Amino acid sequence: MNTMWKGSISFGMVNIPVKMFAATEEKDIRFRMLHKEYHVPIKYKKTCEQCEGEVTPQDIVKGYEYEPDHYVIVEENEIENITPKTRKTIEIVDFVDLKEIDPIYFDKSYYLSPHETGDKAYALLRSAMENTGKIGIAKITIRSKQNLACVRVYGNSIVLETLYYPDEVRGQAMVPGLLGDLELSEKELTMAQQLIEQLTTSFDPSRYKDEYREQLEDLIRKKMEGETVGVNVAAPQAKVVDLMEALKASLDAAKKDKKQTTAAAPKKRGRSKKATL
């Protein structure tokens, strides 16, 4: 793993040197845009709308558009001058319960590991949070942006999760088509709850996989090996209009699937009893 940030965790007067690593990675398959005839990558050039000439990095400045086609220019040293002190510090300001944070606020995850002489203080913070069941709410600056974050225990490590600020989470009032409370049939509600119970299990992340990515990798492999790949026409899906009919069909399918899964599971052998003479 490449270190993407070095600094320290601070809470109270305690300072813990740490290094930060990305905890997740996207497994998306990326395509290059190629010229249709020559199969070479397409290059994109930065050009100026005024003179139509190509622009070099030295000719680019940062501007904020405060109204259409009107900009205020901001220099790099002006931005540097107001960069917050959390540029090199994960400053814990509060400790809260994790369950108090709605998942809508979570953004990205990072592993934190002790750096230089921070081993003991790192272990102390990890154990203290684990024993109290609390997580730290912190501020950290990553790539010139001050982020809200939470610091929590994950396995044997401390993880930092960047959070959205409240004004970055769109209000539900902005969502078109949301309805108030509707009168629901007791029978429909009971069947919906039964369906949820049938589909309820303990969370095991290894059960889930990106099937589309696997199929895409298989497609690329076949084409690399010169195989002819056919195109399947998707069969039209039947539309179920009646809600009760859909619930009943879903419940029957869930019960059947659960029964098959249970039957396929290996049975535990009991201890054989010794015969008594």
DSSP string, the chain: ----EEEEEEETTEEEEEEEEE-----------B-TTT--BPP---B-TTT--B--GGG--EEEEEETTEEEEE-HHHHHHT--GGGSEEEEEEEEEGGGS-GGGEEEEEEEEE-TT-HHHHHHHHHHHHHHTEEEEEEEEETTEEEEEEEEEETTEEEEEEE--GGGSPPGGGSTT--------HHHHHHHHHHHHHH-----GGG---HHHHHHHHHHHHHHTT-----PPPPPPPP---HHHHHHHHHHHHHHHHHHHHHHSPPPPPPPPPPP-
- pLDDT score, position 274: 39
- pLDDT score, position 11: 87
- pLDDT score, position 276: 34
Round to whole Å and give the CA distance between 95 and 151.
9
Is there a contact between 251 and 194 (Cβ–Cβ < 8 Å)? yes
Asked whether residue 254 is domain-assigned, the answer is no
105: domain CATH number is 2.40.290.10
- pLDDT score, position 251: 83
Per-residue pLDDT of the chain (277 residues; tens, 9 = 90+): 889 999 999 988 888 999 999 999 888 888 999 999 999 999 888 999 888 899 998 999 999 999 999 999 999 888 878 877 667 899 999 999 999 999 999 999 999 999 988 899 999 999 999 999 999 999 998 887 889 999 999 999 999 999 999 999 999 888 888 877 788 888 888 888 988 888 888 888 888 888 888 888 888 888 888 888 777 766 666 565 577 888 888 888 888 887 777 777 666 555 444 333 2
Domain containing 144 equals 5-23+83-167
The tally of domains found in the chain comes to: 1
pTM of the model: 0.75
Asked whether residue 221 is domain-assigned, the answer is no
Asked whether residue 71 is domain-assigned, the answer is no
Asked whether residue 130 is domain-assigned, the answer is yes
Summarised one tens digit per residue, pLDDT across range 141-181 is: 888 788 999 999 999 999 999 999 999 999 988 888 887 77
Round to whole Å and give the CA distance between 149 and 26.
21
Asked whether residue 13 is domain-assigned, the answer is yes
Asked whether residue 99 is domain-assigned, the answer is yes
- pLDDT score, position 86: 64
Asked whether residue 72 is domain-assigned, the answer is no
Round to whole Å and give the CA distance between 275 and 269.
18
Of residues 116, 109, 93, 96, the one with CA closest to residue 17: 116
- pLDDT score, position 233: 64
Distances (CA, A) of 260 to 156, 181, 204: 37, 38, 19
